[in-house]
Amino acid sequence: FIEEGIMETHHYDCLIHHMIHHKEYIQGPVVDLKLIDFYTENLTDHIPYYWYEILLGNIPIGKISLRLGYNETSLANGHVGYEINPEYQGHNYSYYALEMIKQLAMDHGFRYLLVSTTADNMQSQRTIGKSGGKLVVLEYEVPKDHIFYVLGKNKMNIYEIKLG
C-alpha cells in the first residue's frame, strides 16, 4: 500500500453503500455482529464507517468498526477497530469478529485491510496475526492532532490483511 514513500489515498463514494445489501445483522459461528449505525456525517477523518456491537448469544461483549477508505489522518486508525469488554477477553472473540468484517470489506471492494495497534498490545497483535496480518509499517508516527496522540499513543504498528 505504500510505494516509494507515497501513500495511496482511497476515497470512498458513500453512494456505493446504498447499492450493497445493508448488513444490519451478521451471524457468525461464534459471535454475531449487530449494526449500531453507519456514520457518514460530522466525521473527523471524513471517512464513513460501520459500527457494530459484538454479541455472544444476546450478550454485548464488545464493538468493531469498518472504515470505508483511509487518508493520512485515519491511517493511525486503520480500516478496522475493535474492542472486547475486559471480562470477555482471552477467548478469541475479536478474531471471530474480524473474520466476519473481512467479508463485509470484500463486499465493498476492498482487497486488503489495514489494522493498527500499539507495540505493547500483544493480544491485538496475536488477533491480527491469526487473521493473516503482516506488519507493513513499524512505529508509524501518529500526527499530533490525532486523538491517539492526545491519548499517549504516538506510535502505531500497521498491519495489512490481504482479502480474497
In the chain, what is the straight-line distance between the N-terminal and C-terminal CA atoms, in Å? 16
Of 79 and 41, which is predicted with more confidence? 79
Q: What is the rounded CA–CA span in Å between residue 155 and residue 146? A: 11
pLDDT given for residue 8 in this prediction: 45
Is a pLDDT exceeding 70 seen at residue 10? no
CATH code of the domain covering residue 44 = 3.40.630.30
Q: Residue 24 is part of which domain span?
A: 2-162
Is a pLDDT exceeding 90 seen at residue 44? no
pLDDT given for residue 112 in this prediction: 94
Q: What is the rounded CA–CA span in Å between residue 99 and residue 119? A: 22
Number of structural domains, the chain?
A: 1
pLDDT given for residue 20 in this prediction: 52
Cβ(73)–Cβ(45) below 8 Å: yes
The residues that bridge with 157 in the sheet, in sequence order, are 117
Of 22 and 75, which is predicted with more confidence? 75
pLDDT given for residue 152 in this prediction: 80
pLDDT given for residue 47 in this prediction: 85
The whole-number average pLDDT for the span 135-139 is 92
pLDDT given for residue 132 in this prediction: 97
Q: What is the rounded CA–CA span in Å between residue 101 and residue 54? A: 11
pLDDT given for residue 22 in this prediction: 63
pLDDT given for residue 34 in this prediction: 97
pLDDT given for residue 130 in this prediction: 98
